[in-house]
Amino acid sequence: MTRGDRLTEVVRERELSALVVTNLENVHYLSGYTGTNGVAVVGAEGQRDFFTDFRYLERAEVEVRDFERLRGKRDLLGDAAERLSAGRVGFEEEHMSVRSHRRFEGLVPEGVELVGVHGLVEGLREVKEEGELAIIRRAAALADDALAEALEGGLAGRTEREFAMALEDGFRARGAEPSFESIVASGPNGSLPHAEPGDTVIAEDVLVTVDYGAKIDGYCSDCTRTFATGEVGAEAREVYELVRAAQAAAGEAIRAGLGCKEADSIARAVIDDAGHAEHFGHGLGHGVGLEVHEGPRLTPAASEEETLVAGNVVTVEPGVYLPGRLGVRIEDLVVVTEDGSEVLSQLPKDLTVVGET
């Protein structure tokens, strides 16, 4: 069954006559198209239209499979509207502005009722096919390799930004791009989970959190390791071991059937028990694929019905952040399997002192 076939089933289940797909990652997933202007229409009766404008027709000729390739105008919503017939037609409400929606309402033929839906294609994307897993495995291995190489140049004495650039140069040298802007956060900067690497010179005897991912063939990886640049002191070591224990507990529990909320709570309980509940301010993890943050989300906010299924690719990334002092996050990228998980992040998780020989 093609991805288009699977979406047709979802369209039927939702009692829609068609779904208009405007999110480009979703269009890419369904059709193979990688350009920057494209819309797909998937009908309950097998209609499968793809539109792009003249700039991308040649690209579409090469890339688009399983869809009828149609030449559109620059405003593809108008073209999509012309292919719709009466009935309930879904549109991706998370990916359409209020303004576009208003315009679309004016373009669709009489008898079409536009229905906002979300997560239909994203739901399919959460379960990876073997081919997708193969690419993500390569991306993860490549990113680890680039980090190992960057670390050979040491951490202390370089600025956070210099280190981030060395790492990302390593991705490019290996034919990949960064899947997001790398985080290199040293010393007190580590207490900001999303710190941007700056001009801070990495000191001796501090922790440094490096959150990095590579993107190849459209797919992302995501991993975090926290390193030491020397003797970091008892508090830092304690927090490190705590995060490591929380990461291990959740990592060992990951398997098909585990609740998304439950996965989060396994790691959270370890951190709470150590008195650091308020220092773990984000969810345990997220899905990774064409986007670095996608479903499923492993958070306290996940509903009880959301469970992991085989083929999900998720991160397991607890952290503890002590404002103004230090931060530790350890993140693995894992593939969920029927009886456990396959860990794609291969760098060691023992606290590693970089620069020590």
How many whole angstroms separate alpha carbon 324 and alpha carbon 190? Answer: 8
Stretch that binds Zn ion, among 155-163, 195-203, 274-282, 315-323 (CB under 5 A): 315-323
Is there binding between residue 222 and Zn ion (CB under 5 A)? yes
Is there binding between residue 126 and Zn ion (CB under 5 A)? no
CA 43 to chain centre: 28
**E strands, the chain, where?**
18-21, 39-43, 48-52, 68-71, 87-92, 112-117, 177-178, 183-186, 207-212, 214-216, 219-220, 223-228, 285-287, 294-298, 313-316, 319-322, 326-329, 332-337, 340-343
Widest distance between CA atoms in the chain? 74
Is there binding between residue 312 and Zn ion (CB under 5 A)? no
Stretch that binds Zn ion, among 62-70, 98-106, 206-214, 252-260 (CB under 5 A): 206-214
Is there binding between residue 291 and Zn ion (CB under 5 A)? no
Binding letters toward Zn ion, positions 319-338, x by CB under 5 A: ------------x-------
Q: Hunting for tokens 């010393």 — which residue is that?
A: 187
- H helices of 48-177, where? 57-63, 76-82, 98-107, 120-125, 130-152, 160-173
The DSSP output letter for 45 is T
Is there binding between residue 160 and Zn ion (CB under 5 A)? no
How many positions of this chain bind Zn ion (CB under 5 A)?
A: 5
Q: Which is nearer to Zn ion, 22 or 315 (CB)?
A: 315
Q: In sequence order, what are the beta bridge partners of 19?
A: 42, 90
Residue 11 CA neighbour count, 13 Å, CB half: 26
Is there binding between residue 211 and Zn ion (CB under 5 A)? yes
Is there binding between residue 315 and Zn ion (CB under 5 A)? yes
Q: Which is nearer to Zn ion, 22 or 224 (CB)?
A: 224
Q: Which is nearer to Zn ion, 7 or 185 (CB)?
A: 185
SS3 142: helix
Is there binding between residue 264 and Zn ion (CB under 5 A)? no
To Zn ion, the closest distance from the beta carbon of 224 in angstroms equals 5
Q: Which is nearer to Zn ion, 326 or 334 (CB)?
A: 334
Is there binding between residue 294 and Zn ion (CB under 5 A)? no
To Zn ion, the closest distance from the beta carbon of 333 in angstroms equals 8
Is there binding between residue 144 and Zn ion (CB under 5 A)? no
Stretch that binds Zn ion, among 54-62, 189-197, 296-304, 308-316 (CB under 5 A): 308-316
Inter-residue contact 132 to 220 (CB < 8 Å): no
Positions touching Zn ion (CB under 5 A) are 211, 222, 224, 315, 331
